[in-house]
Structure 1
Amino acid sequence: MNKPFSSIDILGIPFANATRNQFLDQLQGRIEHHQNTFVVTANPEIVMYARKDPAYRKLILTADFISPDGIGIVKASQTLKTPLPERVTGYDIFTHLLNWANQNKKSVYFVGAKPQVIKQLKLKLAQDFPNLQLTGAHDGYFKSDTEIVNVIEKQQPDIVFVATGFPNQEKFIAHNRHLTKGLWMGVGGSFDVFVGAVKRAPKWWQVHHLEWFYRLITDPRRLKRQLIIPQFMWKIHQLKK
């Protein structure tokens, strides 16, 4: 297994200083060695939320790895003269680990998204990932997590993907990660994109680092959230002075 990599500090959050392939190799090695692992995929919105919520900041600092999910994080690292090699998105990690888990017959538990999305997810997994061991899948609309937690503890999945959005997914993971020796990762809206309920930006937008803008024009309700990005960059430029 590869040695852990160094980190780059962005407004008090240590991001993994690694390429996408290095990051994935590290996660796969830890799963193979049954090492308990907590992964946070963080964008500027999460960094700024952590600045105003000390409890959440303290919580995500317990993660084993924090990946630079948003291009804003990579741009910030360049501005601060401590450049990260590339963006490592939560969705890319999610889909890669799914394929790897299928090839290696690993077990996975899914929690989050709407009931209809979970139904579609199960169908897609059965069709496209026949070797993946599905230990359970539950939507994110629950009042008590007792049933979910009991299944996870009993089944001991290699990977637990939590798609309830920040900060709830990180809180759920931090509270329950001790139950298994596997990998726990918050993946936001990845289930929705995976089943086609939400369309990911086409490749051109991704390559030109405009995925955030594509999401904004296709869903104007995101405007308030996107306004966090200029605030984040302003903080970065203040540090540069």
Structure 2
Amino acid sequence: MVLLNDKLKTTSILNVSYINTNFTYFLQIIQARINQRENTFIATVNPEIAYYAHQNPKYQSILSSADFVTPDGIGIIKASEMIGQPIQERITGFDIFKALLEWGSQNNKSAYFAGAKPDVINDLKVVLKSQYPGIKISGIRDGYFKSDQEVASEIKDQQPDMVFLALGSPKQEAFIAKYRHLNNGLWIGLGGSFDVLSGNVKRAPQFWINHHLEWLYRLIKEPSRLPRIMIIPKYLKLVRKSK
């Protein structure tokens, strides 16, 4: 049985505390909190985001305000091993997103979606209708809105069970930190997850994911990602120095 006050083990790396548990148990905790309308902020952090947080104290403070920070990247797992506090499992934003949509569809939960490009949102609407028909869409819009306050007001009015933001970091986490008090539901930043679920970006085949090579697959498909990928060794170097 999962209790709302269950204390998850965490592992701190460069002043960011990551949950140290398995995906199944974490999902049960999230679902219990959603059912109880417990205000919840989840930050999904990969090495690129962690490196940025290390350079930007204000953003690191935002991550510290999250209820849960998940290790979204094999680089975070490697870093935990380097400091002798291995994290059990990589928990990605995309996997959380899909699992919550499936569960939400089965349990008639409501969700608000904001982020990505207009074409992506149009495709996402089709996917949601066909694959997750039980989800009540409280609102859905692309990420090119001019007024954060307008989006926040919609969320406040609709009071969805889940708020999914694909605005990219650090914008999505800053938005959540500023407006989460307006809705006692789940708030989570998902980066490029709308692009993947809508079919506009192909996720790595399971073989690459199982062998922790998803980053390499994406680099092959998108060579322009190289500067972002190169942050991983910089991040691991920082972790090594911090030991």
TM-score (norm 1): 0.97
Q: How far did 1:236 drift?
A: 2.0
d(CA) in 1 for partners of 2:122, 2:149: 21
What CA deviation, in whole Å up to 9, does each residue of 1:86-109 have, x standing for no partner?
100110001000101001100000
d(CA) in 2 for partners of 1:111, 1:211: 25
Report the number of matched residues: 240
Matched, 1:110 2:119: no
Matched, 1:239 2:242: yes
Determine the structure 1 residue equivalent to 2:26.
23
Mean CA deviation greater in 142-151 or 208-217: 142-151
CA contact (8 A) 1:4 1:26 kept: no
Q: Out of 150, 154, 157, which is 2:157 matched to? A: 154
Structure 2: state its 5+ residue gaps: none
Structure 1: state its 5+ residue gaps: none
Matched, 1:140 2:164: no
Matched, 1:83 2:86: yes
Matched, 1:73 2:76: yes
Q: Out of 122, 125, 129, which is 1:122 matched to? A: 125
Determine the structure 1 residue equivalent to 2:209.
206
Determine the structure 2 residue equivalent to 1:39.
42
Q: Out of 4, 11, 16, which is 1:13 matched to? A: 16
Q: How far did 1:143 drift?
A: 1.4
d(CA) in 2 for partners of 1:146, 1:120: 26
d(CA) in 1 for partners of 2:51, 2:153: 34
d(CA) in 2 for partners of 1:61, 1:95: 25
d(CA) in 1 for partners of 2:7, 2:163: 21
Matched, 1:186 2:177: no
Q: How far did 1:124 drift?
A: 1.3
d(CA) in 2 for partners of 1:142, 1:149: 11
Which amino acid letter does the alignment assign opposite residue 239 of structure 1? S
Q: How far did 1:112 drift?
A: 0.1
Which amino acid letter does the alignment assign opposite residue 82 of structure 2? T
d(CA) in 2 for partners of 1:91, 1:178: 24
TM-score (norm 2): 0.97
Q: Out of 41, 50, 55, which is 1:52 matched to? A: 55
